[in-house]
Amino acid sequence: MEIDKGLGEIERMARSITGSKDISFSDIIGQSRAMIGAIDFAQKIAPTDAVVALRGDSGTGKELFARAIHEASGRSGSFVAINCAALPEQLLESELFGYVDGAFTGGCKGGKPGLFERTEQGTLFLDEIAEMPMPSQAKILRALQGRRVRRIGGAREIPYDARLITATNRDLEALVKKKAFRSDLYYRINVLPIHIPPLTQRRDDIPLLVEHFLFHLSSRLGRSARCLSPQAMEKMIHYPWPGNIRELKHVVERAHILCETEEIGEQAILFGSQTEEWITGCRVPQSGSGNTPLRVQMDIHERRILVHALKDAASIREAARRLGISHPTVLAKMKKHDIRMVRNITDGRTSDKAKINI
Ligand SMILES: Nc1ncnc2c1ncn2[C@@H]1O[C@H](COP(=O)(O)OP(=O)(O)OP(=O)(O)O)[C@@H](O)[C@H]1O
Ligand SMILES: [Mg+2]
């Protein structure tokens, strides 16, 4: 029952992913030397079948690269992403490898093929691979070495034709040293690593990114193009950007909402805790007032509800239960709204009840 419910959720997530607009290398903004190097390398290896390891801090664009590589690969199948951190071990494995009839109580009658089998001629994106449980790591290694998978409970080895792209923001080398990540899998997936530099190492790209996001926001809202004042741009260029491009995108979006004038001033550029004041305080546009589109107002309220639930609950899972939505949905919404949890270590135990970074 649990398994089926989980699989349905994943399928919905996978569908929303494969159904979204195709991303190509032209959607990756960046002219700094570090970015040009990463883009050139990614373009070179895109048409091959090689496993790719995307490395980079949170919000640097790993998924964007993965999609662009798929688009340029010439593969006729779809791009399917799975977040290895969002599912418990059994569910992750049944999703990846599938299962035979009778493998689980509540499983589909007749069994079910996994994503390896179903991503025919496509790209399977294993996001946050460092969070994959050790036993599943061993199974992924087997699948990669033999280019065959065995469904859970089954004996038959089934060939697959998916290209694998992995991503992580963790220090895989340190995890291997600590024996928290299998070294044999590390060597197998890290053949073609692409390091996406953090935004602080490519500050030259900040004006380009700001312009890109402003242009898209304006055209989406049917307004004329807007720009940042020189002081606002200075503020953007000198900020440390812990959340990288995702954070920059949200800062630009908020500034766009807060400032009505054609030139956006520095008072509308809000970072970190200033944002908390903004979402919980009176600066939120009143429902139905002004020219703020409904979608934007809904986003603001969704973010506020999420922050309050996460602050009150003992864990992300508990917040999900209280809100009546699934754990992966909360994780996806946290990403969308750039809400990060800073883990507390108390009595040697890690807890999710933590300070929220917004
Ligand atoms: N170079 C870029 N040009 C334009 N948009 C970008 C660029 N890099 C990232 N983005 C945008 O920033 C957001 C975050 O990117 P993405 O989800 O690919 O990051 P990530 O590295 O996968 O992050 P995480 O580790 O948190 O999963 C997305 O909306 C993406 O479209
Ligand atoms: Mg990602």
Question: 287, 279 in Cβ contact below 8 A?
Answer: no
- Which residues does ligand 1 sit against, CB inside 6 Å? 28-30, 56, 58-64, 169, 245-246, 249
The tokens for 357 are 């970074």
Shortest-distance ligand to the CA of residue 206: 1
How remote is the CA of residue 58 from the centroid of ligand 1, in Å?
Answer: 8
The pLDDT of residue 153 is: 93
Pick the atom of ligand 1 nearest to 65's CA.
18
Task: Give residue 342's pLDDT band: very low, low, confident or very high (50, 70, 90).
Answer: low
The pLDDT of residue 278 is: 57
The pLDDT tens digits for 237-293 are 999 999 999 999 999 988 888 777 889 988 889 887 666 555 554 344 444 445 556
pLDDT at 306 over 60: yes
pLDDT at 145 over 90: yes
Number of Cβ within 10 Å of residue 198's Cβ equals: 18
How remote is the CA of residue 210 from the centroid of ligand 1, in Å?
Answer: 14
* Amino acid letter, residue 101: D
**CATH fit for domain 2-197, picks 3.30.300.180, 3.40.50.300, 3.90.950.20, 3.40.50.2300:** 3.40.50.300
The pLDDT of residue 34 is: 92
Contacts of 335 (CB under 8 A, 6+ apart): 246
Pick the atom of ligand 1 nearest to 248's CA.
12
The pLDDT of residue 341 is: 67
CA distance 181 to 136: 11
Task: Give residue 94's pLDDT band: very low, low, confident or very high (50, 70, 90).
Answer: very high
The pLDDT of residue 251 is: 93
- Residue whose Cα lies nearest atom 10 of ligand 1: it is 61
How remote is the CA of residue 335 from the centroid of ligand 1, in Å?
Answer: 10
Domain ranges of the chain: 2-197
Q: What number of CA atoms fall less than 13 Å from residue 35's CA on the CB side? A: 25
The pLDDT tens digits for 30-62 are 999 999 999 999 999 999 999 999 999 999 999
- Residue whose Cα lies nearest atom 15 of ligand 1: it is 61
How remote is the CA of residue 248 from the centroid of ligand 1, in Å?
Answer: 10
Question: Best of 55, 67, 195, 245 to mutate for ligand 1, by most ligand atoms within 8 A of CB?
Answer: 245
Residue with tokens 């071990």: 89
Question: 211, 34 in Cβ contact below 8 A?
Answer: no
Output the 3-class SS for the chain.
Answer: CHHHHHHHHHHHHHHHHHCCCCCCHHHCCCCCHHHHHHHHHHHHHCCCCCCEEEECCCCCCHHHHHHHHHHHHCCCCCEEEEECCCCCHHHHHHHHHEECCCCCCCCCCCCEECHHHHCCCCEEEEECHHHCCHHHHHHHHHHHHHCEEECECCCCEEECCCEEEEEECCCHHHHHHCCCCCHHHHHHHCCEEEECCCHHHCCCHHHHHHHHHHHHHHHHHCCCCCEECHHHHHHHHHCCCCCHHHHHHHHHHHHHHHCCCCEECHHHCCCHHHHHHHHHCCCCCCCCCCCCCHHHHHHHHHHHHHHHHHHHCCCHHHHHHHHCCCHHHHHHHHHHCCCEEEEEEECCEEEEEEEEEC
CA distance 233 to 175: 38
How remote is the CA of residue 18 from the centroid of ligand 1, in Å?
Answer: 17
pLDDT at 353 over 90: no
Least confident range from 21-35, 236-250, 313-327: namely: 313-327
pLDDT at 3 over 50: no
The rounded mean pLDDT for the chain is: 84
pLDDT at 354 over 50: no
- Residue whose Cα lies nearest atom 25 of ligand 1: it is 58
Shortest-distance ligand to the CA of residue 169: 1
Shortest-distance ligand to the CA of residue 57: 1
- Residue whose Cα lies nearest atom 23 of ligand 1: it is 59
How remote is the CA of residue 60 from the centroid of ligand 1, in Å?
Answer: 5
How remote is the CA of residue 189 from the centroid of ligand 1, in Å?
Answer: 21
The pLDDT of residue 303 is: 82
The pLDDT of residue 337 is: 79
**CB-based burial label for 51 (10 Å; 0-12, 13-18, 19+):** middle
Q: Which of 70, 87, 55 is nearest to 18 (CA)?
A: 70
CA 11 vs CA 81, 185, 219: distances in Å: 10, 26, 32
How remote is the CA of residue 346 from the centroid of ligand 1, in Å?
Answer: 32
pLDDT at 6 over 80: no
The pLDDT tens digits for 192-216 are 999 999 999 999 999 999 999 999 9
Task: Look at 41 and 333; give whichever has higher pLDDT.
Answer: 41
Pick the atom of ligand 1 nearest to 54's CA.
21
Q: What is the CA radius of gyration of the chain?
A: 22
Pick the atom of ligand 1 nearest to 29's CA.
3
The pLDDT of residue 237 is: 96
The pLDDT of residue 355 is: 43
Pick the atom of ligand 1 nearest to 35's CA.
1
User: Per-residue pLDDT averaged across 108-133, rounded?
Assistant: 93
The pLDDT tens digits for 150-165 are 999 999 999 999 999 9
